[in-house]
Amino acid sequence: MLARPAELLASDLQSSGSRIKSLAWFELDVKPMPDQITMKRASDDARGGKSVSTQAGEFVREEFHHIREGKHGARSAKQAIAIGLSKARRAGVKLAPPGAGKASDKVRRQAERDYRRGQDGNGHVSHRRSRAVLDALKREGHSAASTRAISRQVRAAARHKTPTERAMAAEKAVATKGSQRLSIIGRKAARTRRLQ
């Protein structure tokens, strides 16, 4: 149905008696839901027994990809990550909202709302709001998806963790890799040590 021109779709809807105010959202190619490939990757991760943060990571990856290809921009890498996590929760990934003290009340309320929406099933999508959000993001820059911006965000996030938390995260990362992947990572680490 999405492959058909907007005019044909409009005539179909009018003939069926649907009350539609505007179809401008359709012509702009606004997709409030994530790409099908991202949904498949996330469901494959869930089937493979991977953590919810890994599943949500697929949606964050998609956001950075959209910024890089010029679909829209973002004010910062942090905003791009937040959009990806929101999409993940709304798509049904069981990523719990941040706990008390981890984020502001406003952010926590929004995360809870997104989580409920994803678990209860998607309801009505406001096309006017979707279009307004996309238009606002189109006015933002594209440097949020640069390697430098992402690196800065990752380092800032790591600074908020204790050394013990960082060590535990590293151990968990090692546990989720296969032996072949660990071998590749080890060789890369040895190379970078020699360069220093």
Domain count of the fold of the chain = 2
Residue whose token pair is 């151990």: 171
Alpha carbon distances (Å) from 30 to 33, 139, 142: 9, 15, 19
What backbone phi and psi angles, to 5 degrees, belong to 103?
-150, 170
**Could you tell me if 135 and 173 lie in one domain?**
no
In which band, very low, low, confident or very high, does the pLDDT at 169 lie, cut at 50, 70 and 90? confident
pLDDT at 97 over 90: yes
Q: Tell me: do 94 and 189 sit in the same domain.
A: no
Over 70: is that where the pLDDT of 40 sits?
A: yes
Q: To the nearest whole percent, how much of the chain has pLDDT over 90?
A: 58
* Structure tokens that stand for 123 in this block: 């309801």
Give the closest residue to 133 by CA, choosing from 32, 61, 39: 32
Q: Tell whether pTM > 0.85.
A: no
Residue 113 has pLDDT above 50, yes or no: yes
Q: Are residues 156 and 177 in the same domain?
A: no
Question: What is the span of the domain harbouring residue 130?
Answer: 21-160
- Tokens representing 35 are 């790409």
**Within a domain: 3:** no
Domain check: are 110 and 190 in the same one?
Answer: no
Same domain assignment for residues 58 and 128 = yes
Cα–Cα–Cα angle for 148, 153, 158, nearest 5°?
125
Evaluate if residue 34 carries a pLDDT over 90.
Answer: no
Residue with the two structure tokens 């690196």: 151
Cα gap 58→69, rounded to integer Å:
16
- Per-residue pLDDT reduced to its tens digit, 41-53: 999 999 988 889 9
The Cα-based distances of 6 to 13, 14, 122, 134 in angstroms read: 10, 12, 24, 19
Distance CA 86, CA 103 (A): 14
Residue found by looking up tokens 């905003």 in the block: 79
Dump pLDDT digits (tens) for 134-160: 999 999 999 999 999 999 999 999 999
Calpha distance 101→99 (Å, rounded):
6
Q: Is the pLDDT of residue 75 over 70?
A: yes
